[in-house]
Amino acid sequence: MNDLIRLTATEAVARLRRGEISPLELIDAAADRIAAVDPAVNALPTLCLDRARDAAKRLDRSSEGEAGWLAGLPLSIKDLTDVAGVRTTYGSPIFRDHVPAMSHPLVKRIERKGGIVLAKSNTPEFGAGGSTFNEVFGRTRNPWNTALTCGGSTGGGAVSVATGEVWLAHGTDHGGSLRRPGTYCSVVGLRPSPGRVTRGTSNNLFSPLSVHGPMARNIPDLALFLDTMAGFCPTDPLTYDAPAVSYVDAVNGARPPKRVAWSPNYGGALSVDRETRDICEKAAYRFQDMGCIVEEFHPDLGALEDAFMVLRSQHFVVDRELQLQAHRDLIKPDIIWNTEKGLAQTPSQLAWAERERAAFFRRVAAMFETYDIFITPSAATPAFDVNLRNPEMVDGQNLTNYMGASMLNAAMTLASAAAVAVPAGFDRFGRPVGLQIAAPTRGEAAALGAAALFEQLTGFDKLLPIDPRAGVVPPPG
């Protein structure tokens, strides 16, 4: 493995700034690594190496010195997000040959801050699903065991950083799409608070459900990439200015939280695999090693699972109703089901779901008056068969739909919390398990700081990058 690939993003950027290495050297190292490992995992189906080299040669240094300056670091952009002149399919046969003329506002921001777009990462069709596959590019496999899924929907991004194909990966998150792939691939993924990072061209501009965010191999790198992304954008009405203190500085100066709330499964309200609960409980109580008070606490979910599906389905109506009318035969069943569920809903159902969301937000806000952070498992079950679109069951309970294993993540989505997934260990079959560390809305610095201190205790980030490993699907149960 090329030594440059082994560098963290933070180390690589520091060396770029000092002129010890060049962006072109990193592009060549990444291209060699992609050629070596991507046939086994299918994380980056679309490369733009010539565009990347051209960008490196004319790197605009006007943002040098700003928080989040990447100085020519190569990275991946999720294939839901437009990059000018680069094939962008959204994982859909409808857009199989789509090449946008203009980049998404976030891509423009990343490039202005010295990021070099090297490739597009694979995603489920329109980002809908907890396993990364589509009819355009096929399936993306988990590098820890290529018989398993990498999760979704930022699956290609998670694999691209875990294997050392790139140093940072962009992604999106609605019901866990940065957090579950992060967990399944033993990397870190952050769902920022709504408005922290621009969504730019979305039709759901006034909805707080879906956000863009960063993925990396460790928390300091994640903080660096969040600094690149964060800030006001005139094309997104929910955005606001970046904080006065950078996330890199916040992580470097992090102090342990005083009080930590831990919940394995919301007091039994959610199904979580037993071994996952056991691993995560031991990991959560490691905060006591930092002098933290750790207490088990379960916010009342109420009817939040039903409310989430109502609100998510309405989100699908905004995004997919017109496509469903024009291209129904090219859209996968899960998206059709979710959109038609939304079309059948009544105004009273939508109003009820909004009231449920507001009530849950108030309960979580009250919890954060006592506790600094809230910890749960970051996935209800470890990675499952790559050929399945979702796990068949969790802790002995059959799932009723493709989002059935997502409520640990979706709850924090509905609470508008800042939530980061961080590796916490491995199960008896060697599958990664992780914690979700959440802080109040706009509390990214607190979530990242706590995750960074936990990461220093475990050292799991030192296991990356890895070469893809062949394996078999573990037996259920």
- For the record, the structure tokens of 437 come out as 């560390």
Q: Measure CA of the first residue to CA of the last residue in the chain; give whole Å.
A: 36
Residue 407: pLDDT band by 50, 70, 90 thresholds? very high
416-438: burial string, b at 16+ Cβ within 10 Å, e else: bbbbbbbbbbbbebebbbbbbbb
Angle at which helices 347-370 and 407-414 pack, to 10 degrees? 90
Predicted pLDDT at 233: 98
Q: What percent of the chain has pLDDT over 90?
A: 96
Predicted pLDDT at 103: 98
Tens of pLDDT, residues 367-387: 999 999 999 999 999 999 999
- For the record, the structure tokens of 466 come out as 């890895």
Tens of pLDDT, residues 173-204: 999 999 999 999 999 999 999 999 999 999 99
| Residues 46, 79: Cα–Cα separation, whole Å | 9
Predicted pLDDT at 403: 85
| Residues 168, 73: Cα–Cα separation, whole Å | 8
Q: How many CB atoms lie within 10 A of CB 365?
A: 15
Contact between residue 377 and residue 395 where contact means Cβ atoms under 8 Å apart: no
| Residues 211, 241: Cα–Cα separation, whole Å | 16
Instruction: Give the three-state DSSP class for 88.
Output: coil
Task: Output the furthest CA–CA distance in the chain (Å, rounded).
Answer: 62
Query: Does 268 have pLDDT greater than 90?
Result: yes
Predicted pLDDT at 83: 98
Predicted pLDDT at 392: 85
Predicted pLDDT at 398: 87
Backbone phi, psi, residue 7, to 5° = -65, 145
The whole-chain average pLDDT of the chain stands at 97
Contact between residue 191 and residue 71 where contact means Cβ atoms under 8 Å apart: no
Instruction: Give the three-state DSSP class for 334.
Output: helix
Give CA 316 to chain center in angstroms: 19
Query: Does 477 have pLDDT greater than 80?
Result: no
* Sequence-separated (6 or more) residues with CB below 8 Å from residue 133: 124, 139, 140, 386, 389
Tens of pLDDT, residues 316-355: 999 999 999 999 999 999 999 999 999 999 999 999 999 9
| Residues 133, 125: Cα–Cα separation, whole Å | 7
Q: Which residues are catalytic?
A: 78, 153, 177
Predicted pLDDT at 313: 97
Tens of pLDDT, residues 130-167: 999 999 999 999 999 999 999 999 999 999 999 999 99
Q: How many CB atoms lie within 10 A of CB 236?
A: 21
- For the record, the structure tokens of 135 come out as 């009819």
Place of tokens 């009819």: 135
Cα distances from 348 to residues 138, 341, 352, in angstroms, run: 40, 14, 6
- State the amino acid at position 86 in one-letter form: V
Of the CATH numbers 3.90.1300.10, 1.10.10.10, 3.30.70.420, 3.40.50.300, which one belongs to the domain with range 3-303+349-463?
Answer: 3.90.1300.10
Contact between residue 139 and residue 58 where contact means Cβ atoms under 8 Å apart: no
Predicted pLDDT at 21: 98
Report, in angstroms and rounded to the nearest whole number, the Rg of the chain calculated over CA atoms.
20
- For the record, the structure tokens of 67 come out as 């928080």
- For the record, the structure tokens of 287 come out as 């905060």
Contact between residue 292 and residue 258 where contact means Cβ atoms under 8 Å apart: yes
Query: Does 96 have pLDDT greater than 80?
Result: yes
Query: Does 434 have pLDDT greater than 90?
Result: yes
| Residues 208, 244: Cα–Cα separation, whole Å | 23
Query: Does 1 have pLDDT greater than 90?
Result: no
Predicted pLDDT at 198: 98
Q: How many CB atoms lie within 10 A of CB 63?
A: 17
Predicted pLDDT at 227: 99
The domain segmentation of the chain, as residue ranges, is 3-303+349-463
Looking at per-residue confidence, does 73 or 399 come out higher? 73
